[in-house]
Each structure stands twice: as C-alpha cells, then as structure tokens.
Amino acid sequence: MPVKAKCGLIHWAIPANPDLSFIEIEIGKINDLIHPGEHGTTFGGNPLACAVGSKVMEIVADDAFLDAVNRKAGLLRQKLEGLVASHPDVFDAVRGSGLMLGLKCKVPNTDVVKAGYGEQILTVPAADNVIRLLPPLTITEDEIALVTDFLREQRPPEYDESVVEAPSEDKEELSEEDYDERYDDAVALVTQQGQASISMIQRKLRVGYNRAARMIEAMEKQGIVGPSDGVRPREVFRRTEE
C-alpha cells in the first residue's frame, strides 16, 4: 500500500516498491506560482539543452577533433615539464594525463592560484600542494602559451649551469710517478676514439693493466676524461680536431 502525505500543493505517493515511486503534481496550481523564465534546471530536457548536448557529442566523436585534443595535451605537458625543469624551487612535478593536469608546487599552491587571478587565469588548489589545470577541450595553442608564460614569469628560472660548464682549462701537473713514456700516445688514442677505458689502452698500446690504469687516472687529474662510471667507458672531455 502506498503511503501518502500532503505537503502544500504537492501530493507525494510512495508505493512499497521503490522502483515504482512517482510524484503527483497539481500542474495547474504550480503554473500559477512559477512562470516561464523563472525556473531552470541543469539537466532538464528542454529543446536548447538537448540541441547543445547533441552538437557536443557530434563534435567530440570526430576523430580530427580528438587528434587535435591529444596534440594540445602533449604540448601543454611539454611546456609544464619545462617549467618544472627551469623552476625547481617553485614546482616539483607534473601530475595527471591528457588535459587533466596538475602542478605539484614547492611554494604554497594558494600563492600561485591568487597570482593567476590578476591575469584572468583560473586554477584550482588541490590536495598535496597541487594546482589543477583543467582547460576546455577547445583550448588553443596560443592560450596554452599564455598560461605557461604566466607561470614561468612568477620567478626567474634557475638553471643548473654545471651541466653545461666546460672542463677547467687548468691542468694539474703530473708528477714523475704519474708520467709514463706512453702517456702522450694514450691521450692521443682516447681523444681520437672519444671514449676511454683501461682495457682499450691495454689492448691498443699493449701495456699491462696497472700501467694502463695509472694513465687513465692521470688523464682524470688533468681533466681529459671523466670519473669512472662502472663498466661503461669514461667520458672524454677533449676531442682531437678533425
């Protein structure tokens, strides 16, 4: 048996089976209270909402549109990764996938969000000190550049100059113990080959292991080769000009 209760102008009738529940409304009386244009609903099935929904699905189903979305998502991520690399004191990492991305911050994320308001850029603070970047699928490449340029300008970039520094030209003088009569031949060999290893010097110059190892160590002191990297050949900083 349904349980009925009267509340104002609306009669609720709730059957025992919830799958069959319904609402009885006195339409005529409601129309006297609510006039056209005075009430709206996000999910209402009105003609405009249906037309817009149908058009959106038509556009999104187009392969060319989705290809463009993927291309712009890759561009946005590339620029954000560049921000993390050039501003390691501000940003820590890029989160998410596609166009649903976030930047984990090292500074308070709310500071970045507030700074964006002045540039009409809306971001959302999220958990774990992240700012969310949720652009529409129709974002343009110019708009992506606008947002990433804004984030970049919040602080000058700080690059690790050590990765591009040339080896010091100041050579450490070799002692008599370090110098070997085949040392110059060994230097010429590694600069020509572009790599250095003890076994290569042994094989090419026909010298013993200990002797080859001492020559490699002498080259490292003089900044000709880099330090040992396990089983990989050492990096050579000086190359013979061809």
According to CATH, the topology of domain 63-152 is Aspartate Aminotransferase, domain 1 (3.90.1150)
Residues of the chain with pLDDT > 90: what percent?
A: 4
Distances (CA, A) of 189 to 87, 99, 167, 197: 41, 52, 19, 11
According to CATH, where is 1.10.10.10 located in the chain? 183-235
- In this structure, are strands 234-235 and 195-196 parallel, antiparallel, or unpaired? antiparallel
Across 75-88, average pLDDT: 87
Q: What is the pTM of this model?
A: 0.45
- For residues 223 and 238, give the distance between their C-alpha atoms in angstroms, rounded to a whole number: 8
pLDDT of residue 31: 64
Quick check: 220 and 231 in contact, CB under 8 A?
Answer: no
Asked if pLDDT for residue 212 goes beyond 70, the answer is yes
Asked if pLDDT for residue 99 goes beyond 80, the answer is yes
Asked if pLDDT for residue 17 goes beyond 60, the answer is no
According to CATH, where is 3.90.1150.10 located in the chain? 63-152
Question: Is the model more confident about 227 or about 2?
Answer: 227
Asked if pLDDT for residue 214 goes beyond 80, the answer is yes
Question: Is the model more confident about 135 or about 26?
Answer: 135
pLDDT of residue 130: 92
- For residues 218 and 163, give the distance between their C-alpha atoms in angstroms, rounded to a whole number: 23
Side chain identity, residue 131: I
Asked if pLDDT for residue 166 goes beyond 60, the answer is no
Distances (CA, A) of 221 to 80, 169, 170: 40, 12, 10
| Phi, psi for residue 217 in degrees, rounded to 5 | -65, -35
Asked if pLDDT for residue 177 goes beyond 70, the answer is no
Q: pLDDT averaged over the chain?
A: 75
Around Cβ 191, how many Cβ atoms within 10 Å?
19
- Least confident range from 8-17, 28-37, 77-86, 233-242: namely 8-17
Across 173-181, average pLDDT: 65
pLDDT of residue 203: 86
pLDDT of residue 172: 52
Nearest alpha-carbon partner for 191 in 158, 234, 228: 234
Q: What is the pLDDT of residues 102-119, one digit of tens each?
A: 999 998 999 888 888 877
Around Cβ 146, how many Cβ atoms within 10 Å?
14
CB under 8 A, 24+ apart: contacts of 222-227: 222/171, 222/172, 222/174, 223/167, 223/168, 223/169, 223/170, 223/171, 223/172, 224/187, 224/190, 224/191, 224/196, 225/190, 225/196
According to CATH, the topology of domain 183-235 is Arc Repressor Mutant, subunit A (1.10.10)
Question: Is the model more confident about 20 or about 187?
Answer: 187
pLDDT-based confidence at residue 162 (cuts at 50, 70, 90): low
